[in-house]
Amino acid sequence: MTSPLQITVIRGLIEEISLPVSSVDVIVSEWMGYELLYECMLESVLAARDRFLRPGGDIFPDRACLLATGLSDPGLRGRRLGWLEHCWESDFRAAAPLLATAVLVEDVEAEAAATDCATVAALDLKTLGLSPPGSCFRSLSAPLEFRLRVRGGGGRGGARSQIDAVCLSFCVGFGMDRSPTASGSRPSRHPVTLSTSPSEPRTHWRQTVLTLTEPLPVEAGCELVGFLQVLPLGRGLDLRLQLGRAEGPTAEEEPEVQRFVHW
């Protein structure tokens, strides 16, 4: 007779606990945060993988991508900073530089997306390294290049004449492995993805908006080149962004490095 299903709850840090079995077949974890890596939970998932997952076992999600999209939203700065001048009958405009370095987490309307969506980083959770501790961020600490193509047509506030911000989102995949001989696991017949892109249905992760210091003039069809660094800051993130034109009269100018802190 088959024994009834039994669920055992073990309380503690995954890096410290012991299991009543030597290994497990599957690890399922919802570790994703804002802009994918906020709260820095990924290292704990990788620790669980290295300690407990049997060879050929599965981890879900098993793929994760950090995505970037250029936004055209001329009213963004006014909504973010305009209220400082008349806040409780006081003038708080001196706080504007500090607020400008803070990220904005909100639901971005799809029509504000002025470019295609680019992959900034692609992570394979089955092979991503964890030795030494902190090394999963090492691949993200160097500037990661991404390229965006400006779309044609009208956008919020009219034609796509400027980029006002970069929107960060993510996509994770479940059962995306197509190399069973390399990993030992079976390829999935029905891969499932979850995306937090502005073009997809809304989720509680929403999107992370990095507002540019000054609008970047563009026209339909032009290509932009960006660089993003993702550094751990406690359980938060230190994000450093550069964005400029890949071609044209300003292409040779070094874009400003903007720093955004997400506590």
Where residue 205 falls (left for φ over 0; alpha for ψ -120 to 50; beta otherwise) is alpha
pLDDT, residue 10, reads 95
pLDDT at 2 over 60: no
For the whole model, what pTM was predicted?
Answer: 0.86
Q: Which of 101, 112, 94 minimizes the C-alpha distance to 213?
A: 101
Helices (H), 53-179: 76-81, 96-100, 138-141
pLDDT at 187 over 90: no
- For the chain, domains (ranges, CATH) are 28-262 (2.70.160.11)
pLDDT, residue 143, reads 92
pLDDT, residue 180, reads 42
pLDDT, residue 182, reads 39
pLDDT, residue 179, reads 45
pLDDT, residue 236, reads 92
pLDDT at 52 over 90: yes
Q: For the purposes of burial, counting CB atoms within 10 Å of the CB of 112, is it exposed (0-12), middle (13-18) or buried (19 or more)?
A: buried
List, in sequence order, every residue forming a beta bridge with 210; answer none if it has no partner. 166
Per-residue confidence band for 199, with pLDDT thresholds at 50, 70 and 90: very high
